[in-house]
Amino acid sequence: MANQIIFDQVSYTYNPNTPFAVDVLNNVNLTIPENKVTAIVGHTGSGKSTLIQHLNVLLRPTAGTLTVAGEKVTATSEHATLKPLRKKVGVVFQFPEAQLFEESVIKDVMFGPLNFDISEEEAMRIAKEKLALVGIPEHLYERSPFDLSGGQMRRVAIAGVLALEPEVLVLDEPTAGLDPLGHKSMMEMFIDLQQTTNITLVLVTHQMDDVAKYADNVIVMEKGTMVKNGTPAEVFADASWLDQKQLSLPQAMSFMAKIDSQLDVAMPTTAKPPLTVDELADYLLKIKAGIQVEEG
């Protein structure tokens, strides 16, 4: 339970006590279970990004209590006690390639570990390991990060966060702007990493297909509060509710819904509704088998 993240009545206001004050989070109560993949979804401006800045205490709640890695964080927590939490919770922000600054790729990846007092040799070893993990070939290690292609820069930036060896990894739209192949390979790398090292993965995304395919647990945010929390099957069960929240079904599910409404075939009641393309294929095969039995 040590790496559970618990929001207890957390509220957050930007620019409090000024004419520009904005309430972004309102009484958020939620738990991010450890060693699982949790997806956070919600319409633009629902407070997702503010929420994830709380996860590694870049922001402290203006009200309520947040528990990260066994540490309680409130509005009055000292900054100095929070730094160790940043190593435990790594965050890959949107377009992370904007954070590169060192003169070589390897130095940039080593930057994070060095900030947490890890020795030079150890940092070097970790950096090489993570660069290999994200698929950056060795001959690029000494190059300037600004010479790389956009996709490679993204990989280096992600390696820079992985180099902190976090126990909780937060990804804010990690594949935004990548080509389909890059998207797939990157998502698979993260899921693989989650499974082999058993870390907690938090994924903020607009892509419902990814949520259906990879998440164990889904948190739906709206106007700064959590409006639903459950497994993908539970969250995606009510299409009209999702529509109301300006969210959509995964493609496999909307395809299935169309078949359901337009074709007069008996659905196998035993199987659960398909979330992914693979499950959809299985489902259709079952229908086909059912029809064949009827005919025979």
Q: Which residues bind another protein (CB under 8 A)?
A: 14-15, 18-20, 53, 56, 58, 79-80, 83, 86-87, 90-91, 93-94, 96, 98-101, 111-112, 115-116, 146, 160-161, 164
Q: Which is nearer to another protein, 96 or 232 (CB)?
A: 96
- 2 token code pair: 């040590």
Minimum distance, C-beta of residue 119 to another protein, in the bound complex (Å): 15
Q: Are 138 and 113 in contact (CB under 8 A)?
A: no
If the CB atoms of residues 165 and 209 are measured against another protein, the closer one turns out to be: 165
Q: Which two tokens stand for residue 6?
A: 């618990």
Distance CA 177, CA 1 (A): 35
Q: How many CB atoms lie within 10 A of CB 81?
A: 11
For the CB of residue 112, give the shortest distance to another protein in the complex, in Å: 4
Q: Residue 76 or 262: which CB sits closer to another protein?
A: 76
Give 94 or 231: the residue with its C-beta nearer to another protein. Answer: 94
- Closest CB 37 distance from another protein, rounded Å: 20
Q: Among 58, 62, 60, 10, which Cα is nearest to 32's?
A: 10
Q: Report how far apart, in Å, the C-alpha atoms of 190 and of each of 36, 118, 174 are.
A: 12, 24, 10
In whole angstroms, the minimum distance from the beta carbon of 115 to another protein comes to 3
SS3 of 206, please?
A: coil
For another protein, which is the closer residue by CB, 166 or 250? 166
142's CB contacts (< 8 A; 6+ apart) are 104, 105, 106
> How far apart are CB 81 and another protein at their closest, in Å?
12
Closest distance between another protein and the C-beta of residue 86, in Å?
Answer: 6
Cα of 109 vs its chain's centroid, Å = 21
* Choice between 83 and 184, CB closer to another protein: 83
- Identify the CA nearest to 108 among candidates 145, 152, 155: 145
Report how far Cα 227 is from the mean position of its chain's Cα atoms: 18
Cα separation, 218 vs 211, whole angstroms: 8
